[in-house]
Amino acid sequence: MALPVFSGQTMKRFLFLTLLIMGCTDPATQLQTSATNQSPSPVEPEPTPEPWGGLKVQFVGQPLADAKQIVVMLHGYGASQEDLIPLGEYIGVEQQCQVYPEAPISVPDGGFAWATEDAHWESSTKQIIALIEELHDSNQDAKIAVGGFSQGATLASLLAKDPGLPIDDLFLYSPAWLEFKSELPDKVRPDVLLAHGRFDQVLPFFDAKEMLGALLRHDANVNWMPFNDGHTIPKQVVDATRDKLLR
């Protein structure tokens, strides 16, 4: 059989068509091959919540797991978590775990703050709620009290809005009055000790009176303790705190 004879021009066309056919494939086949060769996308794990609401926390007294009572103390503006430890030493009772979180915002003159602008109140409240819920999950049999002085008391007062929080007592020493951003429940759950000096030059006494009225309108059990002094926590208020924790 005679073989075909290609001229130079015919050979060029033949090679061109051969290369073109070899380079062409079905697009669907290309997509399938590409998809087959791709590695599966990694599944992003859900972020793990930071412990204790993301706050630096110091524990004093009974180990958390063994405590019958948990007391969380919130310091004031420009202070630190150590500020209220001397108060805690006085109000400490047997089988009590004291918890001292440090506010998350550094202030220029030293110390820390829970808020330096309005938006910080919401974020700091969320952190304290996360801390309280984790404390409760760690020891569901212990009663929980939250106290605070000055800005710490203001923050603690906002916890009264949530009837689902496992808080038995609020100790509010010289707070500022913030209009509650959402309505208080019909019945405020925790018992409240509210104390403020009539001669307070830092946060006005009138603020505590406004807070008192709001709490009473929502059926709160309030121990109202005005006193003739300034921005401080007098002994009679500390004694009343300790007496309440002993009950």
- Beta-strand runs (E) in 57-104: 57-61, 69-74, 96-101
Number of domains in the chain: 1
Q: Give the per-residue pLDDT at 12.
A: 47
Pick the closest to residue 151 from 165, 172, 131 (CA basis): 172
Pick the closest to residue 135 from 104, 163, 101 (CA basis): 101
Task: Answer yes or no: is 36 within a domain.
Answer: no
Q: Give the per-residue pLDDT at 31.
A: 39
CA distance 199 to 172: 17
Mean pLDDT of the chain: 86
The yes-or-no verdict on residue 39 having pLDDT over 70 is no
The yes-or-no verdict on residue 229 having pLDDT over 60 is yes
pLDDT-derived band of residue 160, with 50, 70 and 90 as boundaries?
very high
Task: Answer yes or no: is 5 within a domain.
Answer: no
**pLDDT higher for 33 or 225?**
225
Q: Give the per-residue pLDDT at 45.
A: 59
Q: Give the per-residue pLDDT at 50.
A: 82
What is the number of other CB atoms lying within 10 angstroms of the CB of residue 241?
24
Q: What would the pLDDT profile of 82-111 be if each residue is shown by its tens digit?
A: 999 999 999 998 899 999 999 999 999 999
Q: Give the per-residue pLDDT at 24.
A: 42
The yes-or-no verdict on residue 59 having pLDDT over 70 is yes
Element (H, E) at 119: helix 118-138
CA distance 21 to 142: 79
Q: Which residues form the domain of 183?
A: 51-246
Task: Answer yes or no: is 92 within a domain.
Answer: yes
Task: Answer yes or no: is 230 within a domain.
Answer: yes
- β-strand pairing of 191-197 with 222-227: parallel
Pick the closest to residue 194 from 217, 219, 215, 164 (CA basis): 215
Q: Which amino acid is at 124?
A: S
Q: Give the per-residue pLDDT at 93.
A: 87
CATH of the domain at 102: 3.40.50.1820
